[in-house]
């Protein structure tokens, strides 16, 4: 063999070997437990959805899926942790409207990740409307009651899962419509916020429907208004914001995202398994009970979806003047 031919053969081997190694690694996935980071405290919609999905994927993938709650800074702390993790397919985040569309605009330069390019977006899991609920002893039964309370000398406190959440933006939007600022009370997740409302420490809450559904059904809170285009089939007695004279509609969404650079074979596998799980009639029925609509997007489709949400929310947040300061 000539020297030149030998060099070409060596070069070909040096290129093919890493590619073959990556393929073998991806084909063996998952060979260890997978961490699913929830960037909110336990008890909220993000946490609830994550635990349902983790249980389903654990069965389908044959590997343990560990839910890891890392709340803080409008869901950006946990998301940044994932963005900076190794792209090996063993760390992912429950990406959502707060962490990937709203909070980057609310927190500005303090957010050290790009919500589109620093992640490999895999699947849209579920979307659902926002619902406003009140403590039964607050005297608030309608949005008109809430507005009257807001205009009283004491004002109206409204809890949310945190600054930068879609529920925070609902509070901002409602304040704009009534010409009176509501007292936004941010918590480190929907779970702690709901506990405060149930205990009567805060009169009202703007929440995602899945985390509020059980409390509404139990009567521990009163559903005051649904921010959906029309009444929700699972809660037909709850009037929409528009029915009550307030032109607001807002959906939250939740999905699965890896750090950027995860091998395509792993991304495709997780996408297939997630979409198959969400297509199961029993799973769809469970999400329907919670007020959620399962997604069905490819990785390319979910990436485009996140990009559109960023483009929609960034200017709205800037126009509202909302910030984490």
Residue 4 placed within a domain: no
Dump pLDDT digits (tens) for 78-112.
999 999 999 999 999 999 999 999 999 999 989 99
HEC profile of 92-156: EEEEEHHHHHHHHHHHHHHCCCCCCCCEEEEEEEEEEEEEEEECHHHCCCCHHHHHHHHCCCCCC
Binning the chain into helix, strand and coil, the percentages to the nearest 5 are 50, 20, 30
Which residues are registered as beta bridge partners of 185? 159
Separation in Å, CA 106 to CA 8, 201, 306, 312, 315: 53, 26, 17, 14, 11
The candidate with the shortest Cα–Cα distance to 95, out of 104, 108, 106, is: 104
Domain that holds residue 102: 10-127+252-320
CATH number at residue 105: 3.40.190.150
Q: Do 121 and 268 share a domain, yes or no?
A: yes
Give the residue carrying structure tokens 């089939």: 233
**pLDDT for the residue 290:** 87
Q: Do 103 and 160 share a domain, yes or no?
A: no
How far apart are alpha carbons 112 and 115 in whole angstroms?
9
Find the mean pLDDT for residues 293-301: 96
* Strands, E assignment, 4-108: 34-38, 65-69, 91-96
Q: How many domains does the chain have?
A: 2
Look up the pTM and report it: 0.81
Q: Do 60 and 33 share a domain, yes or no?
A: yes
Which of 244, 267, 295 is the last residue before a domain boundary?
244
Dump pLDDT digits (tens) for 158-179.
999 988 888 999 999 999 999 9
Name which of 33-42, 101-110, 120-129 the model is least confident about: 101-110
CATH number at residue 227: 3.40.190.10
């Amino acid at each position: 063999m000539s020297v030149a031919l030998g060099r070409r053969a060596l070069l070909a081997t040096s290129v093919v070997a890493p590619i073959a190694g990556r393929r073998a690694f991806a084909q063996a996935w998952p060979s260890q437990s997978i961490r699913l980071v929830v960037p909110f405290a336990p008890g909220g919609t993000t946490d609830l959805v994550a635990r349902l999905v983790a249980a389903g994927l654990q069965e389908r993938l044959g590997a343990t899926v560990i839910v890891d709650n890392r709340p803080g800074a409008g869901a950006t702390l946990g998301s940044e942790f994932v963005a900076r993790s190794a792209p090996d397919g063993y760390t992912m985040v429950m990406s959502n409207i707060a962490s990937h569309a709203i909070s980057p605009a609310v927190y500005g330069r303090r957010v050290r990740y790009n919500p589109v390019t620093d992640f490999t977006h895999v699947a849209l899991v579920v979307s659902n409307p926002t619902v406003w609920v009140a403590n039964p002893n607050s005297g608030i039964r309608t949005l008109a009651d809430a507005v009257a309370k807001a205009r009283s000398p004491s004002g109206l406190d409204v809890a949310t899962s945190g600054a930068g959440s879609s529920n925070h933006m609902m509070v901002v939007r409602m304040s704009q419509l009534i010409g009176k600022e509501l007292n936004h009370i941010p918590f480190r997740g929907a779970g702690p916020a709901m506990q405060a409302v149930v205990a009567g420490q805060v009169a009202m809450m703007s929440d995602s429907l899945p985390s509020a559904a059980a409390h509404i059904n139990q009567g521990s809170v009163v559903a005051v208004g649904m921010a959906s285009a029309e009444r929700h089939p699972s809660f037909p007695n709850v009037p929409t914001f528009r029915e009550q004279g307030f032109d607001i509609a807002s959906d939250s969404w939740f999905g699965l995202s890896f750090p950027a650079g995860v091998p395509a074979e792993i991304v495709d596998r997780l996408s297939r398994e997630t979409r198959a799980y969400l297509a199961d009639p029993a799973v769809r029925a469970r999400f329907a009970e919670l007020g959620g609509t399962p997604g069905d997007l490819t990785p390319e489709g979910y990436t485009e979806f996140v990009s559109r949400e960023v483009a929609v929310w960034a200017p709205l947040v800037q126009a509202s003047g909302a910030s984490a300061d």
